[in-house]
């Protein structure tokens, strides 16, 4: 069952830098972070490689607008991968596990819905997509709002929790400050997007900033810099031989 930690997971020997009760692992968190970081950048690149004149100019209106461009496969594929890794995220085998799992499952379902229920088609394109309806747009909006809200929940609350009976180390306090900044950044980006939406301006920048804040928090939680440093040292040693 996805909602249950694997049997005996807390008894296994953790990888370097991981807690004994960590049933997801830093690599899992890093993949989630990298997927969020890659989404806006790769969409911009791919739409240039696969131009679709009818809708490309409209694509910059939002991240979701890329569904209607030549980057649709990448858009859906990255969201599907993000959904899968969120749905299989288990967090820590302690009293917070149900919150880790609950938030991850909600976020995973929301990511899948964002991919399956696209935003409004470009002007003049709706007659050629008769299956699209206002209900699809409503589902997309609710799912996207839920997804970013869960991102904020992880940064502001779940990532900042300390194991029972432990005193936060200086390193943990430093990371907590980053999580707090990222969480507030996500909320600020969401508010920015609302203002832009009401003014009928592009949502691409606020959505991209929200994804960068989300990705940063997950990469810090997954100790990405430590992993990169270890890999560089290993590569250097291999070359030296």
Residue 66: which residues within 8 A CB-CB, separation 6 or more?
Answer: 43, 47, 59, 72, 74, 75
Count of beta carbons in the 10 Å neighbourhood of residue 75: 25
Residue recorded with tokens 């270890």: 230
Instruction: Give percent of the chain above pLDDT 90.
Output: 56
Rounded Cα distance, 135 and 117, in Å? 9
100 DSSP assignment: H
The answer to which of 5-14, 49-58, 184-193, 215-224 has the lowest mean pLDDT is 5-14
Rounded Cα distance, 156 and 58, in Å? 33
Tokens of 95: 């009293």
Rounded Cα distance, 67 and 121, in Å? 9
The β-bridge partners of 22 are: 92
Q: SS3 sequence, 122-169? A: CCCCHHHCCCCCHHHHHHHHHHHHHHHHHHHHHHHCHHHCCCCCCCCC
Residue pLDDT, tens place only, 12-43: 455 555 677 788 889 999 999 999 999 999 99
Its sign, for the CA torsion 209, 214, 216, 219, is negative
* Rounded to 5°, angle at Cα 77 from 191 and 85: 75
Count of beta carbons in the 10 Å neighbourhood of residue 26: 20
Residue 173: which residues within 8 A CB-CB, separation 6 or more?
Answer: none
Rounded Cα distance, 231 and 238, in Å? 10
Residue pLDDT, tens place only, 164-206: 677 778 888 999 999 999 999 999 999 999 999 999 888 999 9
User: Rounded to a whole number, what is the distance in angstroms from the first to the last CA of the chain?
Assistant: 46
Segments making up each domain of the chain, as ranges: 21-121+133-160+169-240
What was the pLDDT predicted at 139?
97
């Amino acid at each position: 069952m996805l909602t249950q930690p694997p049997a005996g997971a807390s008894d296994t020997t953790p990888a370097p830098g991981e807690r004994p009760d960590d049933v997801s692992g830093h690599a899992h968190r890093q993949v989630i972070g990298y997927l969020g970081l890659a989404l806006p950048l790769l969409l911009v690149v791919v739409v240039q490689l696969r131009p679709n004149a009818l809708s490309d100019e409209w694509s910059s209106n939002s991240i979701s607008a890329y569904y209607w461009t030549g980057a649709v496969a990448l858009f859906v594929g990255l969201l599907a991968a993000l959904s899968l890794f969120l749905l299989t995220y288990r967090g820590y085998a302690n009293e917070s596990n149900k919150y880790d799992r609950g938030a991850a499952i909600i976020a995973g379902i929301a990511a899948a819905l964002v991919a399956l229920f696209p935003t409004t088609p470009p002007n003049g394109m709706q007659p050629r997509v008769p299956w699209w309806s206002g209900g699809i747009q409503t589902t997309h909006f609710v799912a996207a709002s839920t997804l970013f809200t869960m991102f904020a929940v992880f940064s502001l609350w779940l990532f900042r929790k300390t194991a029972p009976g432990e005193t936060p180390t200086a390193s943990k306090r430093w990371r907590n400050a980053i999580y707090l900044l990222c969480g507030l950044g996500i909320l600020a980006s969401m508010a920015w997007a609302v203002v832009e939406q009401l003014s009928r301006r592009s949502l691409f920048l606020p959505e991209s900033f929200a994804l960068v804040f989300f990705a940063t928090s997950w990469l810090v939680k997954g100790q990405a810099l430590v992993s990169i440093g270890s890999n560089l040292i290993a590569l250097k040693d291999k070359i030296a031989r």
